Amino acid sequence: MFPRTHAQRGLALFLLLALIYVLRVALTFTIERDMGPARPLLATLVVAGTAGLSAALFGGLYALIVRRAAARPLWLALGLTPLLIPPFLSVVAWRATLGPGGHLPRLLGWEAGGPSILMQSWIYSAPSAGFILGASWSPLVFLAVSALLLRLPAGQLEAARLARGVWGERRVLWRALLPGVLLGAGGVVALSAIEFAGPILLRVPVQAEQVSLAFDAERDSAGALQRAVPLVLLAVAALALPLLSWVPPLPGARTRPSPTKGSWFAALGCALLLLPGTWLPILDLGIRLTRRSGVAATLESSWAVGAGDAGNSLWVGLWTATLAVGLGLLIAWPLRRASRPWVALVFGLGAVLVAIPPALWGIGLLKLLNRPGLDPLLDSLACVSLADLLRFGPLAVGLLCLAIRSAPLAREEAARLAGRSPWPLTLRHLAPAILTAWALVYLLSVTEFGASALLAPPGKALLAVFVVNEAHYGQGADLAGLTSLLLVTALVPPLLAGSLAAYSWRTRGAQA
């Protein structure tokens, strides 16, 4: 874990200075409105820290036990579901299940005081917000740890077992997986630090909300920028954290999942770990849909209210994802043979773009586009798409860059030597990354709240903003239907694209 190269030592110094700065601001920040005892930046630190820890716990454990679970392919696929459900929907379900008058207190008869009061104070707290956000984003840790587990040579663990027994093996395993845990948890900390749709639903005042409020209420863009700086530093530091523990992998025969019959206990463990991020939102949605005037009537009324917004969200998602993939290919392609410092520079810039709070993107674009000649952009959904492109485009660039750089040069050369174009081979290699990047950017754009809330032009509302506002301020009458509509809008295109890609992949494979 200790930095051992000059680059890592420099990074450690940066992380330390960033942390000192963030803590100093957190402890001296002036509270400008009554938000309870927690200061916004301190609350952000608690939310982000708890989210990172719970994501590490949920995602790390899931990655470890899913390898031993019965029906492993099913649980591998289900392990990604928390990531498909927007975190604010998990927060809504969390609140509706455990909050006052929620499903569980009603079921247990706690409606009149008792433990429900204690539960209420905890549910509406920063650690609670962090917990549910961490559970929602835990697949990031699951994916990172699983990738490392796949690459881990089996002999490294066996050598440790021979030398120091089971505990020695666990020490080596833990150290081998640490970069994955830090990468995933660091990503979750960064996302949680700049997220405010979830925390505001639990009445937790976070710094990202302050950024938005500074502009929304006071038109103070300088103040918004000033409040965003510690968030950017915190998020960049969190994203950079795994680099401290990174060591180049050594070649070796990979660890394979045990060929023995999968355990149902492990499958049960997987199911339990999916409780907050998957089962609760689904259960809450089911209860809401069936509780009122019936599923069909609820969906029908929600369609009448939200169809236009769904169309807008679909438009934004499709444009953003397509542009992000196109631009991503344009940026990533020249990097395919670039030296490491160039790639590190592009990834570093990407990390900074991802770390900028969404409200700041909104404010920046409002300032930039609010001038003659550009204002038509402000009156259209193009400005929302642009904000999403700037926020999530770096993810597409990163994914495509990794895929392009991993394409074996020898394959291209073999095709050229045979007098064939290397493009079919390259595209075939890149297809999964292109589709994944498209689906990811689409999903994130459709469920984006922070920048969209500021940028959506009058008369062109977006579904995610509608849902968060309905959950925050509304009576919740249309929440179930709108949530269903949002999930359908957000999930159907990526799932369709994925299925088509899988089909075309198989067909091409058969022809080959």
Partner 1 sequence: MSAIVAKGLEFRHGETRALQGLDLELAPGARLAVLGPSGAGKTTLLRLLAGLEAPSAGRLELGGALASEGGSLHLPPEERRVGFVFQDLALWPHLDVLGTLRFVAGGDANQREELARKLAEQVGLGKRHDAFPGELSGGEQQRLALARALASEPRLLLLDEPFAHLDTSLRDDLQSQLLELCASRPELTLISVTHQVEAALALGQELLLLEGGRVLEQGPAPELVARPRRAGAVELLGLGKVLPYAEGKCALGPVELAKESPEDASAVLIRPEQVELDPEGIQAKVCGQRLLPNARWRVELALGEHRLSAELPQAPGGQEVGLRLAGPCWGLRAT
Q: Is the Cβ of residue 165 or residue 408 nearer to partner 1 in the bound state?
A: 165
175 binds partner 1, rule: CB under 8 A: yes
Binds partner 1 by CB under 8 A, chosen from 10, 115, 165, 286: 165
Q: Can residue 249 be called a binding residue for partner 1 (CB under 8 A)?
A: yes
Q: Establish if 253 lies at the interface with partner 1 (CB under 8 A).
A: yes
Tell whether residue 150 is a contact of partner 1 (CB under 8 A). Answer: no
The tally of CA atoms less than 13 A away on the side-chain side of residue 88 is 28
In sequence order, the β-bridge partners of residue 254 are 153
Q: How many residues bind partner 1 (CB under 8 A)?
A: 27
Indicate the Cα dihedral angle 311, 316, 319, 322, nearest 10°: -110
Q: Decide if residue 160 touches partner 1 (CB under 8 A).
A: yes
- By CB under 8 A, the residues from 207 to 246 that bind partner 1 are 245
Tell me the closest approach of the beta carbon of residue 173 to partner 1, in angstroms. 11
Alpha-carbon gap, residue 50 to 126, rounded angstroms: 8
**CA distances, 147 to each of 77, 90, 196, 320 (Å):** 15, 26, 30, 28
User: Cα(319)–Cα(394) distance, rounded to whole angstroms?
Assistant: 16
Which range touches partner 1 (CB under 8 A), out of 19-27, 155-163, 275-283, 362-370?
155-163
Find the binder of partner 1 among 168, 262, 432, 457 (CB under 8 A): 168
DSSP bridge pairs for 69: 263
Q: Cβ of residue 181: shortest distance to partner 1, in angstroms?
A: 14
Asked if 381 contacts 465 with a C-beta cutoff of 8 angstroms, the reply is no
Closer to partner 1 by CB, 104 or 154: give it.
Answer: 154
Tokens of residue 448, six digits? 């984006």
Q: Which of 176, 201, 346, 437 is in the footprint of partner 1 by CB under 8 A? A: 176
Amino acid, single-letter form, for residue 449: F
Contact between 129 and 202 under an 8 Å Cβ cutoff? The reply is yes
> For residues 47 and 412, what is the distance between their CA atoms, to the nearest angstrom?
47
For residue 469, give both structure tokens.
């506002």
Residue 345, amino acid: L
Query: Is 248 near partner 1 (CB under 8 A)?
Result: yes
Region binding partner 1 by CB under 8 A among candidate stretches 168-176, 319-327, 346-354, 359-367: 168-176
Nearer to partner 1, 113 or 251 (CB): 251
Instruction: Provide CB contacts within 8 A for 380, sequence distance 6+.
Output: 457, 460
Closest CA to 66 of 254, 255, 273, 253: 273
408 makes contact with partner 1 (CB under 8 A): no
147 in contact with partner 1 (CB under 8 A): no
- Choose between 68 and 103: whose C-beta lies nearer to partner 1: 68
Q: Put residue 471 in one of left, alpha, beta given phi > 0 → left and psi -120 to 50 → alpha.
A: alpha
For residue 271, count other CB atoms closer than 10 A to its CB. 14
Cα 100 from Cα 468, distance rounded (Å): 19
Stretch that binds partner 1, among 46-54, 250-258, 478-486, 499-507 (CB under 8 A): 250-258
Q: List the interface residues with partner 1, window 55-114 (CB under 8 A).
A: none
Q: Which of 120, 156, 210, 298 binds partner 1 (CB under 8 A)?
A: 156
Nearer to partner 1, 252 or 376 (CB): 252
Q: Pick from 247, 307, 414, 427: which binds partner 1 (CB under 8 A)?
A: 247
Closest CB 17 distance from partner 1, rounded Å: 26
Write the binding mask 259 to 298 for partner 1: x where contact by CB under 8 A, - elsewhere: x---------------------------------------
| Phi, psi for 263 (deg, rounded to 5) | -90, 140
If the CB atoms of residues 252 and 424 are measured against partner 1, the closer one turns out to be 252
Q: Interface with partner 1 includes 425 (CB under 8 A)?
A: no
- Judged by CB under 8 A, does residue 177 bind partner 1? no
Per-residue CA distances from 65 to 38, 166, 268 (Å): 37, 17, 10
State the minimum distance, in angstroms, from the CB of residue 158 to partner 1.
5
Give the separation between CA 65 and CA 67, rounded to whole angstroms. Answer: 5
Q: Both tokens of residue 31?
A: 């509270």
Three-state secondary-structure class, residue 69: strand
Please select the residue that binds partner 1; options are 73, 109, 113, 251, rule is CB under 8 A.
251
Distance CA 300, CA 350 (A): 42
163 contributes a contact to partner 1 by CB under 8 A: yes
Per CB under 8 A, 10 contacts partner 1? no
153 binds partner 1 (CB under 8 A): yes
Residue of 70, 159, 283, 366 that binds partner 1 (CB under 8 A): 159
Q: Which of 252, 311, 376, 408 binds partner 1 (CB under 8 A)?
A: 252
Instruction: Give residue 421's region: left, alpha or beta (phi > 0; psi -120 to 50).
Output: beta
* Interface segment toward partner 1; rule CB under 8 A; list 149-157, 355-363, 370-378, 426-434: 149-157
* By the rule CB under 8 A, 161 interacts with partner 1: yes
Nearer to partner 1, 164 or 367 (CB): 164
Q: Does 4 bind partner 1 (CB under 8 A)?
A: yes
- What b-and-e string marks burial along 91-115, b requiring 16 or more CB atoms within 10 Å of the CB? bbbbbbbbbeebbebeeeebeeeee
Task: Work out how close the CB of 433 gets to partner 1 at its nearest, in angstroms, rounded to a whole number.
Answer: 26
Chain residues in the site for partner 1 (CB under 8 A): 4, 153-156, 158-166, 168, 172, 175-176, 245, 247-253, 259
